[in-house]
Structure 1
Amino acid sequence: MKVLYVIVCAAAPASDVGRLVELAQDAGWAVQIVATPQALDFIDVPALELQTGQAVRSRYRKPHEPKPPRPDAIIVAPATFNTVNKFAQGMTDSYALGLLAEAPGLGIPVVVLTFVNAALSARAPFMRSVESLRAEGVVVVEGSDGEQQTQPWDLALRELTPPQ
């Protein structure tokens, strides 16, 4: 079974990321949740662990811990202003960003479903980050505008080739 990492950022729709997990599992993906440290306060960790059968990861593994399976694809959702900009700049100050920094170089497909309000998405740094990520083959999908509490989860999933 192909492995999909869902990287969750700290934003209101994160509380509903179980819906994305459900859609991905229905499409044939094995899902691993990776949360930014701040996102842990936005998600129901026990429920997601039960749903995926995997521990929610938010930190680098210790040397004695088993290495997780390499993802076949990654969805970042909801992707915040901060995460999009750090991803584009190659920042690795969290486990989630470390995974994202390597993914394009490893040929792992990445879909970013944004959750950024109109004021921030109009900023030049954000627009440059989106352009930079797209130039590297990352698919950036405009999600909710940051004012709503929901995310169009299916948009991100549609950008991935279904697992075989």
Structure 2
Amino acid sequence: MTKPVLYLIACAAGPTQYVDEGVRAAQADGWDVCLILTPSAFSWWEPRMQELVDLTGHPVRSRYKLPWERDALPKATAMLVAPMSCTTLNKWGAGISDTLAIGLPSEAVNMGVPVAAMPYFNRAQGAQPAVARSVAALREQGVLVLDGPEGYESHPPKQGNPKGYPWERALAGVRRLVGRP
């Protein structure tokens, strides 16, 4: 039996420097993990990209494919946008899919693919009025936004703990979406 495929989509937020830990947690949870990074997050990992390719067994994507290119990744069973930056949240909530990292889940949720998202940003960023509107827009489309006690509770400015990002909570949300215990 083949493993279900999880697209783990990571933004340029602090925990992405430890995205390999999120990949390992998802693999331990039974997922075949395909990693998609925002262009900025890709640049963080660029010197060590082969580590992520070796870990996942798939190319790490950060840009849309060209029209003549074939899909390099297997079809997703589910998608997890984590850590989701405030920028990605607000662009996605406004329907702006200028990066592969936003375009994939934006389309997938409207094609019946289960999509969860867990943010990582501080309370000052979260206080922007656009944040609540964007969360509401994503939830209205069926995205499971894991904020607060079930996901990530925003931290005070300059007091985040990227290493302590709760990957297990994010994966628990995905399991609920796909009906796995």
Residue 12 (structure 1) shift: 1.6
Within the candidate set 54, 59, 63, 2:58 is matched to: 54
Q: Secondary structure at the match of 1:84?
A: helix
Give the match for residue 112 of structure 1: 117
Distance 2:44 2:80 in 1: 17
Distance 2:43 2:167 in 1: 20
Residue 148 (structure 1) shift: 2.0
Q: Secondary structure at the match of 2:162?
A: coil
Could you say if the C-alpha distance between residues 47 and 163 of structure 1 is closer, same or farther in structure 2, counting changes exceeding 3 Å? farther
Residue 35 (structure 1) shift: 0.5
**Which ranges in structure 2 are unaligned for 5 or more consecutive residues?**
none
Asked whether the equivalents of residues 27 and 163 of structure 1 are also in contact (C-alpha less than 8 Å), the reply is: no
Asked whether the equivalents of residues 2 and 163 of structure 1 are also in contact (C-alpha less than 8 Å), the reply is: no
Distance 2:141 2:166 in 1: 24
Asked whether the equivalents of residues 13 and 121 of structure 2 are also in contact (C-alpha less than 8 Å), the reply is: no
Distance 1:46 1:122 in 2: 38
Give the match for residue 145 of structure 1: 154
Correspondence 1:61-140 to 2 at 5 A: 61-67=65-71, 68-140=73-145
Distance 2:138 2:13 in 1: 21
Q: List per-residue Cα deviations over 1:77-114 (Å, max 9, x = no partner).
A: 11000001111111111111111220111111111110
Asked whether the equivalents of residues 29 and 163 of structure 1 are also in contact (C-alpha less than 8 Å), the reply is: no
The code of the aligned residue for 2:9 comes to I
Bigger drift between 62-71 and 105-114 goes to: 62-71
Bigger drift between 6-15 and 39-48 goes to: 39-48
Q: List per-residue Cα deviations over 1:39-72 (Å, max 9, x = no partner).
A: 1133342211110011100111123332132211
Bigger drift between 15-24 and 65-74 goes to: 65-74
Q: Secondary structure at the match of 1:133?
A: helix
Residue 19 (structure 1) shift: 1.1
Residue 144 (structure 1) shift: 5.5
RMSD: 1.7
- TM-score w.r.t. the length of structure 2 is 0.84
Give the match for residue 49 of structure 2: 45
Pick the structure with more helix per residue. Answer: 2
Q: Runs in 1 of length 4+ with deviation above 4 angstroms?
A: none
Residue 4 (structure 1) shift: 0.4
Q: Indicate the percent of aligned positions where both proteins have the same amino acid.
A: 37
